[in-house]
């Protein structure tokens, strides 16, 4: 099932909100893409937006990267 544009925008907004909820004010948290490459917050936001327009939602998983707290970003299709 394809999402409407407004539904895609809500997925995008929810993804950004979840990202900020998880990192809070801790700028030392590393964000990793699915290939475990570090991303800036702006790059992560862009990826979340791009994926939302393909009807894909972000999920985050806690981990460590080079001894620092990190989040992995994964994406899955929204039904």
Q: Which two tokens stand for residue 43?
A: 């790059």
Domain ranges across the chain: 5-77
What pLDDT band is residue 2 in, cutting at 50, 70 and 90?
confident
The pLDDT of residue 15 is 96
Condensed to tens digits (0 to 9), the pLDDT of residues 19-37 reads 999 998 887 899 999 999 9
The pLDDT of residue 28 is 87
Q: Taking the model in full, what pTM does it have? A: 0.90
Tell me which H or E stretch contains 3: none
35-63: average pLDDT: 95
Report the alpha-carbon distance of residue 32 to residue 47 in Å, rounded: 11
């Amino acid at each position: 099932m394809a999402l409407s544009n407004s539904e895609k925008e809500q997925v995008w907004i929810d993804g950004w909100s979840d990202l900020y909820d998880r990192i809070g004010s801790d700028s030392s948290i590393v964000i990793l893409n699915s290939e475990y490459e570090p991303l800036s917050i702006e790059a992560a936001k862009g990826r979340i937006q791009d994926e939302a327009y393909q009807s894909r939602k972000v999920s985050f998983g806690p981990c460590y990267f080079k001894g620092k707290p990190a989040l992995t970003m994964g994406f899955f299709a929204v039904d």
